[in-house]
């Protein structure tokens, strides 16, 4: 359990940790296949799963530990920015030294500054990506954090309407303005709203009261839809949130139901995936540049060998980054980041089932 979790006195949901691991591994496998000219397009749906998880975890955490907008944003910045800045700057330096090794990284000054600030913009090649290309998802996360901050400033009984209205408005705005759609105002934002809906169901025990068969059925249904998308070649960036979003929400729902039913085992595989869940943020950030450099170093390798090798290397580097960079950074930031009284657990007026559900979520899982 990380430092933030210790401060909050919470315990992690194994199901969420396993999903974080699966999502990060899926995205890494997608990029490994892409760089070896193989097709695993549906692996990118790991991002959609991450967005649903973020909506679930942050809404639940804010319900359990109310805080003001400024304290919330400070906590989020402390969680995501130190490692993101570190990896971005290392990637920029590596691209300056060996530009052919990292063609996906374009280290121009304006691009670097806007990327570090998570400001949506087009890169020097005209694409809607920050300097660290996978960082585009963090601009969406940052927008969601802003939405949550506005919601926290509203009366408690109006927070859901505020968050829902802002996410819906931004999603609809993208349909009218293509440039905004490609940069941020994208219906993918609705996946955060799906996570919020799951958080409300979880807190009220609705997921827990479903028949036991629902857990495995929801996970199987979500995976089956994604498998059909992969087999049929169905991938459309415009329709992505409506094609990959529902199965992502089903998978998260099913995993939570399995957790509620006590069906998440304690064997070596579960322990390994939970541990990989800890390292999922590091893996997500480093995997694309690591794979790109590996491909540059192995131009003669056959795709059938290069893809699994680059994937395995990305996972290993991600774990090392978590162990020797992310964790020390988190500890250092934690010593500087004094949690205000508003972050202390406050669940007065909640039913026992809601208290138990809310207590089980570590906000750093988002």
Domain ranges of the chain: 17-365
Task: Enumerate residue ranges in the chain where pLDDT < 70.
Answer: 1-12, 337-366
Helix axes 268-278, 14-35, angle to 10 degrees: 70
* Cβ proximity of 181 and 174 under 8 Å: yes
Q: What is the pLDDT of residue 363?
A: 63
Q: What is the pLDDT of residue 214?
A: 97
Residues 6+ apart with CB under 8 A from 275: none
Q: Give the separation between CA 324 and CA 322, rounded to whole angstroms.
A: 6
Q: Is 245 exposed, middle or buried (0-12, 13-18, 19+ CB in 10 A)?
A: buried
Residue 162: helix, strand or coil by DSSP? helix
Q: What is the pLDDT of residue 351?
A: 52
Q: How far is CA 201 from CA 161, 178, 261, 290, 354, in A?
A: 16, 34, 15, 39, 10
Helix axes 46-64, 352-359, angle to 10 degrees: 130
Which of 78, 139, 85 lies closest to 112, judged by CA?
A: 85
Q: What is the pLDDT of residue 176?
A: 73
């Amino acid at each position: 359990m990380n430092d933030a979790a210790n401060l909050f006195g919470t315990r992690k949901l194994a199901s969420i940790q396993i999903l974080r691991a699966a999502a990060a591994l899926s995205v890494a496998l997608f990029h490994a296949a892409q760089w070896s000219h193989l097709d695993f397009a549906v692996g990118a749906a790991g991002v959609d799963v991450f967005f649903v998880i973020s909506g679930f975890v942050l809404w639940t955490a804010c319900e359990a530990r109310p805080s003001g907008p400024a304290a919330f944003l400070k906590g989020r910045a402390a969680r995501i920015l130190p490692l993101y800045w570190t990896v971005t700057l290392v990637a920029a330096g590596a691209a300056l030294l060996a530009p052919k090794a990292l063609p996906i990284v374009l280290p121009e000054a304006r691009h670097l500054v806007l990327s570090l600030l998570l400001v949506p913009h087009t890169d020097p090649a005209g694409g809607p990506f920050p300097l660290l290309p996978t960082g585009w998802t963090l601009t969406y996360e940052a927008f969601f954090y802003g939405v949550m901050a506005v919601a926290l400033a509203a009366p408690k009984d109006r927070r859901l309407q505020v968050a829902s209205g802002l996410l819906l408005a931004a999603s609809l705005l993208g349909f009218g303005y293509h440039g905004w759609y490609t940069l941020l105002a994208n219906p993918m934002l609705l996946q955060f709203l799906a996570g919020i809906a799951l958080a409300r169901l979880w807190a009220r025990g609705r997921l827990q009261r479903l028949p036991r068969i629902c857990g495995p059925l929801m996970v199987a249904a979500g995976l089956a839809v994604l498998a059909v998308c992969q087999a049929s070649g169905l991938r459309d960036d415009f329709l992505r949130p409506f094609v990959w979003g529902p199965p992502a929400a089903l998978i998260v729902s099913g995993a939570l139901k399995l957790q509620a039913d006590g069906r998440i085992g304690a064997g070596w595989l579960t322990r390994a995936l939970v541990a990989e869940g800890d390292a999922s943020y590091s893996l997500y950030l480093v995997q694309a540049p690591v794979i790109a450099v590996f491909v540059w170093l192995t131009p003669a390798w056959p795709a059938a060998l290069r893809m699994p090798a680059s994937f395995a290397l990305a996972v290993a580097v991600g774990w090392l980054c978590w162990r020797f960079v992310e964790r020390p950074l988190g500890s250092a930031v934690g010593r500087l980041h004094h949690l205000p009284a508003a972050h202390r657990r406050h669940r007065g007026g909640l039913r026992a089932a809601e208290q138990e559900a809310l207590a089980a979520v570590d906000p750093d899982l988002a």
